[in-house]
Amino acid sequence: MRNKRFVAEHRGGLLTLEDHRTLMKWSLAMAEHLQAHLLHPVDPLLFNALTVGRLWSEGLVGTGEAIRQSRAVHKYAQTVEDPASTVFCRAVGHAVATAHMADHCLGPVYYGRKLMNLLALDAEQELAWQIEKLKEVCPNLSPFVLDLCTSENV
């Protein structure tokens, strides 16, 4: 069963639209932060998806467009041969899918850890950065989300 804190108010949950938009901003920041670790160029499709996510967080595009972009990124990820780039694609896809379901904001946490491990980098340092960003972007949601980020499920 989904946590009601991640379900939008208009769907019977506890998540306000403002909080949903801030979760998107946090999720996008995490995905963009991971890009610095890639050795290969990023396909414009990913930049476009991130832009749509940013526009959604500002109320300038609808959820349907974010869903389309997220699906396109995940489909593209199936064609990518570099494992690190594939993991990055998954992080971007989940970040943008946050518009559809706020739970997806945790995707970049999971894929960030996976990418760091794949590249033999410090996954705990990445998680610490993510947590600081969470506290900065979503201060009122950080206690709840922090519990989820540090659980073994993510």
- Residue 152, pLDDT > 60, answer no
Domain spans, the chain: 28-145
**In this structure, what token pair is assigned to residue 123?**
């996954």
Q: What is the pLDDT of residue 142?
A: 87
Q: How many CA atoms lie within 13 A of 113 on its CB side?
A: 14
Contact 66, 53 (CB under 8 A): yes
Q: How far apart are CA 41 and CA 5, in angstroms?
A: 36
Q: Which of the four pLDDT bands, split at 50, 70 and 90, describes residue 151?
A: low
The answer for residues whose C-beta is within 8 angstroms of residue 68's C-beta and 6 or more apart is none
Contact 97, 70 (CB under 8 A): yes
The answer for residues whose C-beta is within 8 angstroms of residue 96's C-beta and 6 or more apart is 28, 49, 50, 52, 53, 56, 66, 69, 70, 73
Summarize the confidence of residues 11-17 as an average pLDDT: 87
Looking at per-residue pLDDT, the higher value among 149 and 131 belongs to 131
Three-state DSSP class for residue 80? coil
Tens digits of residue pLDDT in 95-107: 999 999 999 999 9
Rg of the chain, C-alpha, whole Å: 14
Q: What angle (nearest 5°) sits at the alpha carbon of residue 3, between those of residues 73 and 109?
A: 40
Q: What is the pLDDT of residue 44?
A: 97
Q: What is the pLDDT of residue 50?
A: 98
Looking at per-residue pLDDT, the higher value among 8 and 90 belongs to 90
- Indicate the pTM of the whole model: 0.92
CA 19 to chain CA centroid, nearest Å:
14
